[in-house]
Chains A and B, each alone.
Chain A
Amino acid sequence: MEDAVYMMPNPATPNQCVVIDPELCKGCNSCIEACRTDVLVPNLEKGEPPIVLYPEECWFCGCCVGNCPVPGAIRMDFPLNQRVGWKRKATGEYFRIGMKNPPPPNERPPIG
């Protein structure tokens, strides 16, 4: 089936500041409660995931992610122009956020 195609304004440059997984999101709006700039607003349909309305106003503080009760329902990555890499000292391998086939996650929690 063909998708409908519309005239659209261009997306803002950092346009995926936060990405919500509609399968996991319960629509509780806790992320909205923690957002300082209205990046997220409630969905008009109750229980549905919030709408990412103003992604270009995101400060990338991550408070929305921290306030979400469902792990993985909302995630935040840096914009593509904000990623430096790191070098594994022993092997010289070079890694970065967003790479294909990244090394396994490091699960050690922060202190506190």
Chain B
Amino acid sequence: MVVDDKIYGGKEMSEPIYAQFKKWPYPVNYGKENEISADVLIIGGGIAGCHAALNATKKGAKVAVVEKATVLRSGAGGDGVDHWHLACTNPASRITPEEMVGVLKSTFSDYGYGEFGNGITAYISCQESYPALLDIEKMGIKVRDVDDLFVGASFRDEKTKLLFAYDYDNRFCIRVQAANVKPALQKELKRLGVGIYDRIIVTSLLTEGGKPGNRVVGAMGVNMHTGEFYIFRAKATIVSTSKPNGLWVFSTELKGSAALQEPNLSAESFAMLWNAGVELTMMEASGTRMQTGGFSHFMYSTGNSHNTWFACTLVDANGKEIPWVDRNGKILKTVEERYHCAPGQRAFVYDGPRFIPDLPERIARGEFKLPLYADLPSMPEHERRAIWGLMVGNEGKTRIPIYLTFQKWGFDPDKDMLQATVQPPDLYTWGAWWKGYGPRQYRGLMGGGPVFDWDLKTNLEGLYAAGSTLACGANHSGSATTGRYAGRKAARYASTAREPVIDRKQVDKEKARVYAPVSRKDGMGWKELKAGLTRIMQDYCGEYKNEEVLQMGLRWLSSIGESEIASAGARNPHELGRTLEAMAQATVSEVIIQACLARKASSKTLDFKRLDYPQMDPPEWNKFITIRQENGKVKTGELPLNFWILPPNAPTYEENYRKHCEL
């Protein structure tokens, strides 16, 4: 069928409908091999991958970065960052790395420190966050108030011109103007001669002899524009892809791929770790995504006072202000008090000043009338300009989508109050970003990832991890710091490692697997596959679990694997990439269910409810469950909480860091 008319819906060339009748715009060469050799291969060119590449290069390694999207703007940090956490070694800081790790430990749980990772990653961040910030400053990113826009503000250090967020007593979180950090990093990578390979979905690790559990010697992938095959041969490999998203939730109809987290964060990286025999942990932990799924609004685009919007005044429909309290429940009378510790509090990240804890009840009683509004006009000038101009102007997905778009439509923070979403009273709790809500079966992986040591090395020789790939994860500065650390470690290993040898049989087997869908143009498409797989997780690995239900989930996955997945179809290289993601999603879903079967106890901390083991957090189960594949069988194990400061590691953070940091 040929459509000559370029007009559809009154808009020339703007509809997908017209385009589907056109030839694929890139030259297609399915199966054509490209072979690249490097000392260090970095899989995933986001924030962690870029900092890893820079630091491995500085150590003398020849580096290749392979990226599914485009290093120019890829990853969760691809569109910028506005606050740089755990910069404890900046000259104005009033907290040491040791003290900061103590604060995180008491704020979070022994299983992990939320966006700050675990003991190893958090401590690395505390030591290297400020040096990493100086790295991007050298690339031209403004990390201090060089234009003197905030002179006299209580969050400004007059000597260094650094601007701080959250805890003004301790000054470890720095407000930065880094909307364009990614183009700056890409430019620096190019300047240093790093090989950049964009638009390639990496589907498999190469191991010595092609056997799982052996040393990793590179990876393989497919170009999502051309369909060509890529073989990367490397002495050392760093995985910095982040975690799989969209395992319980899939819909592009609600708000495009924005229904998920960064849309390229799919399952293939964890599937390839699993298939290579990498030991994973925390895979059983999933949590509700009610406020981040497809039904919610975009982050930062609604009135709230969390994260980038901390600590904006909120008022009700009649202009009545919502009171703030400190951690101890004392009412705070001024805006300035919201940025300081409570008496007896060493420092805070998320457990600092907050709204009155009974706000939901007071809304339900009618004391505060919905809708609520973020009252920027009432904020002191410096704070208003910091929230709307600096932070909403530079955080990921805020400068163009929010700051410039809202202002184009006339929003003026000096005059206008941004509405908070209207939702049930019980959801107006502190910590939620008040962006609307979705169904409770919308869950996401919480903290799962490869087990790693003080070298950021996995259980496989030659394989390192960085950024939010790591078990427990990392935020922007955590990705930068673990990236630079893993870059040094991998380069060091590569400097003495033997030549990597690729097993041709492994290559041929992977090629047969990855190109199978293009021969089946009428097979099930990637969207229905992904949506169907999320239903398995919602039904059989949801909020409540038991042995029978989890086993049923495995049965479904196995059945879909030999039927719908085995006959999946793809009509161009883009669809092929997405189909390979769906295939990997089935693998990772199975790993998650296996991990859930292995934890035979409920846990409040892990949001893990086993109907057949209802007792919450029995002491003997306060440990990490590990899981890996060995000789085709699932092998589970365990690690003690705080293993990072238990034997064979040294008993203090500093000793471990000094011994391993390669500085």
Q: How far is the CB of B24 from chain A (nearest CB, A)?
A: 8
Beyond A67-B73, A111-B177, is A84–B263 a contact (Cβ under 8 Å)? no
Instruction: Verify A58–B258 contact, CB threshold 8 A.
Output: yes
17 contacts between A and B (CB under 8 A): A3-B5, A8-B8, A8-B17, A11-B17, A15-B16, A36-B73, A36-B264, A57-B256, A59-B262, A61-B400, A65-B400, A76-B405, A84-B297, A88-B416, A95-B409, A104-B410, A111-B177
Within 8 A of A (CB), among B372-413: 373, 375, 377-378, 385, 389-390, 392-394, 396-397, 399-401, 403-412
Count chain A residues whose beta carbon lies closer than 8 angstroms to a beta carbon of B: 71
Indicate whether A57 sits within 8 Å of B257 (C-beta atoms), given known contacts A76-B400, A77-B405, A111-B149: yes
Chain B residues lying within 8 Å of A14, measured Cβ to Cβ, are 255-256
CB–CB A54/B574 < 8 A:
yes
B412 touches A106 (CB 8 A): yes
Contacts known (A58-B256, A63-B79, A110-B393); A34 close to B410, Cβ less than 8 A: no
Do the beta carbons of A81 and B255 come within 8 Å of each other?
yes
Q: Which residues of B contact A35 (CB under 8 A)?
A: 69-70, 73
Q: With a CB–CB cut-off of 8 A, which chain B residues contact A111? A: 147, 149, 177, 385, 389-390, 393-394
Known contacts: A60-B255, A61-B78. The answer to whether A78 contacts B401 by CB under 8 A is yes
The contact of B410 among A12, A59, A106, A110, by CB within 8 Å, is A106
A82 touches B255 (CB 8 A): yes
Contact of B257 among A11, A16, A37, A51 (CB under 8 A): A37
Q: Which of B33-41, B154-162, B298-306 contacts A (4 or more CB under 8 A)?
A: B298-306
Task: In the complex, identify which listed stretch (B115-123, B349-357, B417-425, B623-631) lies at the interface while the others stay far away.
Answer: B417-425
**B512 vs chain A, min Cβ distance (A):** 25
Q: How far is A107 from B253 in the complex, measured between Cα atoms in Å?
A: 33
Is A28 among interface residues, defined by CB-CB distance under 8 A?
no
Contacts beyond the supplied A17-B256, A41-B26: 9 A-B pairs with Cβ under 8 Å: A19-B14, A33-B70, A49-B13, A56-B253, A59-B257, A60-B258, A82-B301, A89-B417, A103-B409
Assess the B73–A63 pair: CB atoms within 8 A: yes
Query: Is the C-beta of B23 less than 8 angstroms from some C-beta in chain A?
Result: yes
B224 beta carbon closer than 8 Å to chain A: yes
**A3 → chain B closest CB, angstroms:** 7
B375: A residues at CB distance < 8 A:
89
Q: Provide the bound-state CA to CA distance between A3 and B411, in Å.
A: 39
The smallest C-beta distance from B209 to any residue of chain A, in angstroms, reads: 36
User: Is A44 within 8 A of B22, CB to CB?
Assistant: yes
Cα distance A13–B394 when bound, in Å? 29
Q: How far is the CA of A72 from the CA of B375 in the complex (A)?
A: 31
- The tally of residues in B whose CB lies under 8 Å from a CB in A reads 85
Q: B385 and A89: CB pair below 8 A? A: no
A78-B78 in contact given A49-B13, A108-B407, A111-B393 (Cβ < 8 Å): no
Closest to A85 in B: B419
Could you tell me the distance between the alpha carbons of A44 and B23 in the complex, rounded to whole angstroms? 8
Determine whether the beta carbon of B417 is less than 8 Å from that of A78. no
Shortest Cβ gap from B577 to chain A (Å): 9
Given known pairs A34-B70, A82-B298, A111-B149, the reply for A97 and B16 (CB within 8 Å) is no
Q: Which residue of B lies closest to A91 (CB)?
A: B415
A63 adjacent to B385 (CB under 8 Å): no
Contacts of B412 in A (CB 8 A): 103, 106
- Alpha-carbon distance between A37 and B581 when the two chains are bound, in angstroms: 13
Q: Which of B109-138 contact A (CB under 8 A)?
A: none
Interface flag for B612 (CB, 8 Å) = no
B409 touches A96 (CB 8 A): yes
A45–B267 Cα distance when bound, in Å, is 36
Q: Which residues of B contact A85 (CB under 8 A)?
A: 419
User: Could you tell me if A84 and B400 are in contact, using CB atoms closer than 8 angstroms?
Assistant: no
B328 touches A (CB below 8 Å) = no
A11: chain B residues within 8 A (beta carbon): 9, 15-17
Give the nearest-CB partner of A8 in chain B. Answer: B17
In the complex, A49→B16 CA distance in Å? 14
Q: In the complex, what distance in Å separates the CA atom of A106 from the CA atom of B78?
A: 26
Interchain CA distance A8-B74 in the complex, whole Å: 33
Shortest 10 CB-CB contacts between residues of A and residues of B: A112-B177, A110-B393, A62-B400, A103-B410, A36-B69, A56-B252, A106-B407, A63-B73, A58-B256, A111-B390
